[in-house]
Chains A and B, each alone.
Chain A
Amino acid sequence: MTTPPRAVSRSTKTALLLAGVAVIAAGCGSSGGGSQAAGSGGTATGTSGLTVPTAHLPVLQKIGKGEGQLNLIAWEGYLNPIWVKPFEKQTGCQVNAKYAGSSDEMVALMKNGGGGQYDMVSSSGDADLRILYAGDARPVNINLIPSWKDFFPAFKSPAFNTINGVHYGVSLQWGPNVLMYSRKDFSTPPTSWSVIYNPKYKGQVTVPDNPIQIADAALYLEKTKPSLGITDPYELTQPQFQAAVSLLASQRPLIEKYWSLASQEIFDFKNGNATLGAGWPYQVSSLKAAHFPIGDTIPAQGATGWADTWMLAAKAPHPNCAYMWMRYISTPKVQAEQAVNYGETPDNKLACGFMNQIQAGSCDQYHANAPLSYFHSIALWKTPLATCDNGKQDCVPYTQWVAAWNTQVK
C-alpha cells in the first residue's frame, strides 16, 4: 500500500505546479480599472498657516530650445493623437504618456517633485493642493503662455492652482457630472435630481461607485432641505453628512449598478440595464456617437463637477518642452479639439468657434459659451477635510466618507 499514495502525491505536486503557473498567468491578464475618482485627504484647503515649499523657486524667463522629450501623467483620453501628433511635429518634443486612474495615483506619481522623471500632471481640483503643498509642483511664468489671457476669468487664477498670485500650472478644462436619461423611456426630460431617488425607477438607476457621490446627495439636500443648513456639499457637519448618507442608503434599492468605469455606464445604457443615472459628458458623447438616444441635463439643483490643471513638476527634467506644451494646449483650437473629443468645457473662451467647426453645435452642447451663472451652478470637486472653511474643526473628513460609502451606503 505504500506505492500508490507516493504516485498520487507526485502527480499532485506536478498538478499543483501546473495550476500555480496558470494562476500567475491568469493574474497577469487582469488589471483593475480605475475611474476618474476624486482623491482623498490632503493638506488643508483652508490655506491659513500653510506655505508652498516651492514658492521661491525661480521661473523660466524665456522658452529655450526643446529637450526632445516630454513625460506627462494624464487622465486617459487627455493625450489623444489628434492634438499630440501636431505638437510633436511642431516642437520636436516626443510626448511620453503615463495614464493614471485616480487622483491618488497622480499624487503618488508626483511625489518628490515628479522624481526627476515626470514633467507635468493633468490633475483635478481635489489633488492640486495636495501636490503643491507637498512641494511637488513649481511656479509657472504665466506670461510665457499667451492664450492664458483669453481664459474665462474663473480659470485664470483659480484657488486650486494659484496661491498668493503664484501660478503652479495652467488650467485645462472642466466639466459637470450630469443627469443622464434614456430618451426612449423619458419623453419629457427630467428637471430634478429627485428622479434618481424616486422608487418609481427601481432597478433602472446607475450612479458612480465613488464616495464623492455623497457630495451629490448633499447638493440635492442643500436645495431641497434648507433646514439642514448645507452651504458647501464638500464641507458637511456630522448631522448634514448623516442626512446625505441616509438619502443614499434609501437610494440603494433603486440602483441597478454602481459604475466604476465610464465604459460600464455606456454598456448599461446601451443594453437597457439602466435608463437613468449620474455620469460625465464623456459617456453622453460616446453614447451619442453610437446613435443611442441619450439625454443629459444639469437639473435645477445644479451639479458637482471637476476642473483640471496641467501642473509643472518641481523637478521637471524637460522644462522647455513643458512650457511649449502649456502654450500649445491652451490655444483655442487645441482646447476645442480636447473639449469635443473628451466631452468637457474648455477654459479658453475663444475655443467656441473652433468647436462648432469640428462638430456643429458642440459649443452649446459643452457649455463653452455659457454665462457665469452656469459656472456657479457647478460645485467643483475638492477634498473634504476636517477643517471647514470657517476654521471650525467639525467637518467630516474624506476617510469617513469612504468608510460610510462602504459600510452604510453599499
Chain B
Amino acid sequence: MAVTAEAGERTERGGVRLRVASALWRRPWARATLLLTPPLAWFILLYLAALVVLLITAFWQINPFTTSIVRTWTLSNFTTIFSSPAYRSVILRTVGMAAAVTVVDGIVAFPFAYYMARVASPRARTALFVAILLPLWASYLAKVYSWLLIFTHDGVLDWSLRHVGLSQVHLIYTNWAVFSVFCYIWLPFMIIPVYAALERIPNSQIEASQDLGAHTWRTLRSVVLPLALPGIVAGSIFTFSLTLGDYITPLLVGGTSANFIGNIIYTNIGIANNVPFAAAMAMVPIVIMAAYLLCARALGAFEAV
C-alpha cells in the first residue's frame, strides 16, 4: 500500500510539472512573457528610466545660491547652449573630431580587414586578430599615458625626428594629439565589424564579377563595398559615438583648445554641481547619434541586417 501511495505522489508531482510545461507549450505568448520579463524589466528600469530622468532634469535649473535643483520647467539650459558661440564651437569641434576619426579609422581599417579576411593565411589571421584584440585588454588610461610619453617634449616622436635630421613637431597638448590617440584607441572597433562583413562575401560573387569582365576596382566598388557596407556602418557607429562622448583623452593629451562635449559635462557635474545643465549638454550627443542612425538607415545600411 505504502509503495502505491509513494508512486502516486511522484506521479502527482510529475503531473504538475507536465501540466505547466504543456500549458506553456500551448501558449507561446506566456512562454515569451516569462522569458522576457526579467531582462525587459532590467532594461526599462536601469536604462530607459535613467534616460528619461536625464531628459527631465535637462529642463530644470539650479538655484545659484545653494546649487539645489529647482524643479520648474525652463528651456534656459538649451538656450544657453545654442545661443553661446563658445558652446556651439564646442559642439562643432566634437562632431568634427568624431567624423574625422571615423573617416580615418575607416580608411585604415578597410584594407587591414580585407587582408585579414581574404588574403592572409589562417595562421597570419590569428596573429593579426591577437594584435588587434590584445590592446583592448590593456587599461584605457595606460594606453593614453603611453601616447603622452610619445608626444611629450623631446619624447619618442620628437627625439626620433631630431635624430634623423627632421624638424620636431611638438604634438603634445594639441588637438592633433587628441585626434591621433582617438584614431588609435577606437581602431579595433572599426576593424572587427568590417572584417566580419568582408569574411562572409562568397568567392563565387567575386569570381562572377570577374567573369563578367569587371576589373579589380570595379569589383571592389560594385560588389565588395556594397556587401561590406553594413560592417563599415556598424564600425562607424562605434568610432563616432565613442569619440563623441570621451572626455579623458582630451583631458590628458589635449591642450588649451581641447574642450569637447564630454569635458563640459564633466566640469558641470564634477565641479559646478550644475546637473541640469550637464543633462542638457548630454542631450546633444544623444540627438546627434539619433540623427546619425537615421541617416545610416536612410542610406540603406541596415537593410541587410
What residues of chain A have their CB less than 8 Å away from a CB belonging to chain B?
4-16, 18-19, 22-23, 25-27, 29-34, 37-44, 101-102, 104-105, 107, 209-211, 252-253, 255-258, 260, 264, 267, 271-273, 385-387, 397-400, 402-403, 405-408, 410
Contacts and interface: CB of A to CB of B under 8 A. Distances in A.
Given A29-B141, A104-B271, A42 B66 contact: yes
Contacts of A210: 271
A59 to B, nearest CB: 27
Given A29-B141, A399-B64, A12 B201 contact: no
Interface in B250-292: 251-252, 255-257, 259, 264, 266-268, 270-274
B86 interface: yes
Interface in B45-67: 62-67
Interface residues of chain A: helix, strand, loop or mixed (majority): helix
Contact of A42 (B67, B185, B264, B304): B67
Given A9-B230, A40-B67, A273-B172, A402 B271 contact: yes
Interface residues of chain B: helix, strand, loop or mixed (majority): helix
Contacts of A387: 65
B125 interface: no
Contacts of A400: 64
A248 to B, nearest CB: 11
Nearest to A407: B86
Interface string B219-238: 00000000110110011001
A43 B271 CA distance: 16
A12 B139 contact: no
A18 B248 CA distance: 24
Contact of B304 (A8, A32, A258): A8
20 contacts: A4-B201, A4-B202, A8-B197, A8-B228, A9-B305, A12-B196, A12-B304, A13-B305, A15-B192, A27-B140, A29-B141, A30-B248, A42-B66, A42-B67, A104-B271, A255-B255, A257-B256, A258-B256, A398-B67, A406-B267
Contacts of B257: 410
Given A26-B140, A32-B248, A267-B148, A15 B66 contact: no
B139 A29 contact: yes
Given A255-B256, A256-B173, A4 B227 contact: yes
B270 A12 contact: no
Size category, B interface: 35 or more
Interface string B80-94: 100010110000000
B209 interface: no
Contacts of B128: none
B66 A386 contact: no
B230 A12 contact: yes
Contacts of B252: 264
A298 to B, nearest CB: 25
Interface stretch (B6-14, B22-30, B95-103, B150-158): B150-158
Nearest to A203: B170
Contacts of A18: 192
A8 B200 contact: yes
Contacts of A258: 256
B205 interface: yes
A18 B188 CA distance: 11
Nearest to B232: A12
B97 to A, nearest CB: 16
A39 B267 CA distance: 11
B189 interface: yes
Contact of A407 (B87, B133, B155): B87
Contact of A41 (B65, B141, B185): B65
B65 A8 contact: no
B295 interface: no
B268 A32 contact: no
B266 A32 contact: yes
